[in-house]
Structure 1
Amino acid sequence: MNGWVIYNGHLAGDAFLQFPEQVKKTGKQKNIKIELVANNHLRNKLTNDGILLEHIKGWELPSFVIFHDKDIALARQLELLGIPVYNSAQSVELCDNKVLMYQQLAKNQLNIPQTVIAPKIFANTSALDLEPFIQLAESFSYPFVIKEGFGSFGEQVYLVHNEKEYMEKVKQIYDRPFVLQEFIESSYGKDIRIFVAGDMVAAALQRSSATDFRANVHLGSNVEKYEATLQEAELALKAAKAVGASYCGVDLLFGRDGEPVVCEVNTNAHVANILKHTGVNVAEPILEHIISEITQ
């Protein structure tokens, strides 16, 4: 049995390579050969003879792939060749675009903030009709949250406090997918990151910020080990299942009555803080889950 961990060749810093390196080290302990493969070192070919995948180093195709990237076309190419991919192309695609992710979570009737999807508008529209956006905002009271469909580290998430701020933001991002979302004030500056692997909760963290409504570590929040309640753990597992993730980081907010609320599901969650604050090597339960699936 041999596996690949695919990462993005243009995001090869320590933070992005820590998880692939953990998987490789853990694989060695389990007598599984793991190669770290940059997505740009693969050639996806579509020919009259079918679908081909070539590696510039000439490595043989793997028994499975752990996909630590968002190159959805590559994930699909691997799947079309019959290679098991974790997470699947569909799961990565759902979680890469928050609009699609919230649709899937809502379809499964999970507890999420009230959300409205903004209509699609093409770039360079000559006359932007703002009236429908004003009507959409009637579903909320100020402040409320705007989230772009594509974004990382909380940088494409905005809190608007009045109509003026709202209209300014719409004018900036109107040609991108985004949602309007209820602001969970009771979770201002704090959330929970629960890491799910297979059918189990591997570890959990609480993140908190005194200066920002977002609790992303990238924005300077404090992090500490957290013991998830049964209700929180069950919701995280349901959220992972809803998007078809074999492993993921599920971010939960604290609802106004203490109930957990799904904020996001991340199929490419960073693991440095999990290892640092909990001592849990999440590569181990991930590999155990994959081995159990492909050998059954």
Structure 2
Amino acid sequence: MKEKLKGYLIAKYTNMIGSYSCYRLLEEAKKMGIDLKLIGTCDLCFFEGKFFHRGELLERRDFIINRYKFGHLKDELSNLAARSYNEISAFNIYLDKFKQLENIKSSNFKNPKFILATADKKYEFLKRYLGEKFVAKGLTGSEGDEIYLIKNQEGLENINEKYGPEKEWVFEEFIEQSFGRDLRIYSIRGRAAGCMMRKSEKDFRANFALGGKVSNFEITPKINDICRDIYKITGIDFLGIDLLFGKDDLYFCEVNVAAGIMGMEKATGVNIAGKVLETIREDFNE
């Protein structure tokens, strides 16, 4: 291994006040003697193949951890290091919830029925295939954003008016048995590092960011099999996997390529940030 590993942690802002995940990664890097520098894309310029951060030229480093989902700057930054976590082409593919549903399959869970469409469709048409209640998901939202439970024509018209008729949605079968609860797994290279149940008393969405309560959930062989299957498909090193509780089996919900770790560390007591950085350090030991 090199004498001292150097990396960039990519976020939206250089000063990520209140970002638990960024804080924990920086904290664990310091403990391990890894030089990890937080870089906000909002403070970057890319010019003639070079990056400038607040006016200073960025040097090449050993690795990048990307925690920002949008724009071209994050893509170009991946060329500034020997390794990128997660690898940028897979990262960009699996940002998209349609690509997730299209590509991710396993014998260890069921996939909900879904329709890709704009919201200017008739409720009766979508109801015919998905049932009286169905979920509308924006293709790149996170933390419960752009997710709606549709029960009638008015629900469709509301999101069409709010977001515009050109926006594409995944309209997905509603898994009634999972109302207000789901599973989140934190997968590291196809093995579960932690698993938690999320519950909400009021909302059909159970996201921790929306106030859902979290608790530790046993990592079963099936959960590890799910992690293995999804890793084989995506090749993504660090991944949040969300599953729904069906009547007789688990259902795939979505994956998160830049999953937060606050809820997982709180629920499980597992040092997720440390495990991420240990995995990166082992890559360079090799």
> Shorter-chain TM-score category?
0.7 to 0.9
User: Separation in 2 of the partners of 1:198 and 1:168?
Assistant: 40
Q: AA paired with 2:52?
A: E
* Counterpart secondary structure, 1:138: helix
- Do the aligned residues in 1 keep the contact of 2:191 with 2:227 (CA within 8 Å)? no
Name the % identity: 27
Q: Per the alignment, do residues 77 and 170 of structure 1 end up closer, same or farther by CA in structure 2, a change over 3 Å counting?
A: same
The TM-score normalised by the length of structure 2 is: 0.86
Aligned length: 280
The alpha-carbon deviation at position 167 of structure 1 amounts to: 4.5
2:223 equivalent to 1:223: no
User: Separation in 2 of the partners of 1:203 and 1:270?
Assistant: 12
Partner of 2:94: 95
Partner of 2:50: 52
Partner of 2:180: 189
User: Separation in 1 of the partners of 2:239 and 2:108?
Assistant: 19
Q: AA paired with 2:268?
A: T
Q: Per the alignment, do residues 154 and 280 of structure 1 end up closer, same or farther by CA in structure 2, a change over 3 Å counting?
A: same
The TM-score normalised by the length of structure 1 is: 0.84
Q: Aligned to 1:13, which of 11, 17, 29? A: 17
Q: AA paired with 2:185?
A: I
User: Separation in 2 of the partners of 1:38 and 1:59?
Assistant: 12
> What are the superposed Cα offsets for residues 51-99 of structure 1, whole Å, 9 maximum, x if unpaired?
2223334452210001111135223212334531101222332333212
Q: Aligned to 2:260, which of 242, 257, 270? A: 270
Partner of 1:288: 278
* Counterpart secondary structure, 1:214: coil
- Do the aligned residues in 2 keep the contact of 1:86 with 1:246 (CA within 8 Å)? yes
User: Separation in 2 of the partners of 1:81 and 1:31?
Assistant: 21
> What are the superposed Cα offsets for residues 236-278 of structure 1, whole Å, 9 maximum, x if unpaired?
3423443332102111111210x22221111222211222222
Gaps of at least 5 residues in structure 2 are none
Q: Aligned to 1:37, which of 31, 36, 39? A: 39
User: Separation in 1 of the partners of 2:197 and 2:132?
Assistant: 26
Q: AA paired with 1:67?
A: N
- Do the aligned residues in 2 keep the contact of 1:64 with 1:84 (CA within 8 Å)? yes
- Do the aligned residues in 1 keep the contact of 2:115 with 2:172 (CA within 8 Å)? yes
Partner of 1:156: 146
User: Separation in 2 of the partners of 1:108 and 1:243?
Assistant: 16
Gaps of at least 5 residues in structure 1 are 122-127
2:200 equivalent to 1:198: no
Matches within 5 A, 1:133-172: 134-172=124-162
* Counterpart secondary structure, 1:96: coil
* Counterpart secondary structure, 2:258: coil
The alpha-carbon deviation at position 213 of structure 1 amounts to: 1.1
RMSD value, Cα: 2.6
- Do the aligned residues in 2 keep the contact of 1:108 with 1:242 (CA within 8 Å)? no
Partner of 1:124: none
* Counterpart secondary structure, 2:72: helix
- Do the aligned residues in 2 keep the contact of 1:146 with 1:179 (CA within 8 Å)? yes
